[in-house]
Amino acid sequence: MTAEAKIVDFVCNTSYGDLTSTALDTVHDMVRADIGTIIAGARSDGVGELLETLGEQGGAGEASILVHGGKVPAQSAAFVNAVMSRALDFCDALAPGPHIGSSVIPVALACAEWRGDCDGRELLTALAIGIEIAARFNLTEAAYDGFDPTGICVPFGAAATAARLLRLDRNQTANALGIVFNRCGGSFQSNIDGTLSVRFNQGWVAQDAVTSVRLAKKGITGPGNFIEGIYGYLHLYGKGLIAAEHITGGLGEEDRLTQMVYKKYPSCGATQGMTETLLRIMRDETLRADDVASVRLSLAPYSYRLVGHEFVVGDNPTVDAQFSAQYCIANILLRGSSTIHHFIEDSVRDPAILPYLSKISVSPDAKLDARGHTALDMEVETTQGRVCRAGLDIAPGFPGNPLSREEHVQRFLECMEFAGNGFPATQATGILSAIENLDSCTDVRNLISLLVPT
């Protein structure tokens, strides 16, 4: 059986009863995380302009724009909800960089609402299938080599989820996956340059997935050999570095979605470890910001290329800060913590942070690759000449150093608090309960109704 056939079988034939408890736990955690970031990111830069654009385009009212309200075509709802989910860069992720839930979950909610008769178990099953597919198409740092992983591997998972919820048959599902293969793309240059297209790439993945499924359902065909073909995924994006077994090995028997990352702090995954390490040094050594003469940070080359550049505030300060090691470290020195509020424009432009930026140096160290994707070393020199050293191999929230249940809930509550009056804190309990009890939900629209204005 070809790799493509194995993938299609998994999408079409997996049932709720096939899902492991750990897979279901992962899906619940992801839904909680990404609904929280949709709520918190609903009024971020670019969202208003996107809403205006969608209004100008018009179309059938099939699915809800969360938080703002109003209905648009399902692919448009998935687009804007995905952009909102990614806006704060506080959503789930997978090493070395794809953000899966922020596309797959908006796709699932849009398709479930459009279909109209979807219960919680169907939603969870479709999500588990799609997230697992995206995780299996995930590549290595060397293979991505500057591609935005979200735009490369997540389209397959998002399309798989949509195909399952919209009840595509086997042939239609194969075509949908082949069609969406033609939409893979995106560059990390968007992150480095601090542009809003980081979050828009998340939206395009969601939009393209729904559109591909709609086309396949109408009979439009896609390449059947989208994985193993001469110009298929393994050649174009895998660059000959991986085999089909990387994608299909153990499919249906081992869960890869359980390797998901949940950020403890609202910035790039590559900044989680340095934030945690500096907070620990400051606490353990009872240091104040004025005690710190310099901070020297060594990162693995992949992380350095993404967040190690000199911090400069450009047109999109939030993105500049989210993807800057210098800013994240200076923020800790200035404010003693890392919260969503610290990455809004006023905080990023606060001149009080400038003296701390000059104390921070960041350099790459290839030897750190052997210690893991998030490995780092840090030296903090005090004004008295004392040097405090600490290293970290696994950042908080990554596999091997997971967040606690309490930390997961706290992330959600922080998002609700940041959203302000649009979603009062009292509403958090109802949303959390609905997510927790999705398995017994008779109509997913009951959850969606909690996420739109009444």
How far, CA to CA in Å, does 428 sit from each of 53, 230, 343, 361, 362? 30, 50, 23, 40, 39
Mean pLDDT value of segment 237-244: 96
Q: In 258-386, which ranges are continuous DSSP H helix? A: 272-284, 301-307, 317-322, 325-335, 345-348, 354-357
Q: Is the pLDDT of residue 453 over 90?
A: no
Structure tokens at 23: 């897979």
Confidence at residue 84, expressed as pLDDT on a 0 to 100 scale: 98
Q: What are phi and psi of 361, to 5 degrees?
A: -125, 140
Q: What is the pLDDT of residues 184-196, one digit of tens each?
A: 999 999 999 999 9
454 band by pLDDT with thresholds 50, 70 and 90:
confident
426 band by pLDDT with thresholds 50, 70 and 90:
confident
> Domains in the chain, please, with CATH?
3-264+405-449 (1.10.4100.10), 269-392 (3.30.1330.120)
Share of the chain above pLDDT 70, in %: 99
Contact 132, 9 (CB under 8 A): no
Give the span between the Cα atoms of 161 and 174, in whole angstroms: 13
Q: Is the pLDDT of residue 425 over 70?
A: no
Give the span between the Cα atoms of 447 and 426, in whole angstroms: 16
Confidence at residue 434, expressed as pLDDT on a 0 to 100 scale: 97
Confidence at residue 420, expressed as pLDDT on a 0 to 100 scale: 82
pTM of the model: 0.94
Q: Is the pLDDT of residue 370 over 80?
A: yes
Q: What is the pLDDT of residues 47-91, one digit of tens each?
A: 999 999 999 999 999 999 999 999 999 999 999 999 999 999 999
Q: Is the pLDDT of residue 424 over 80?
A: no
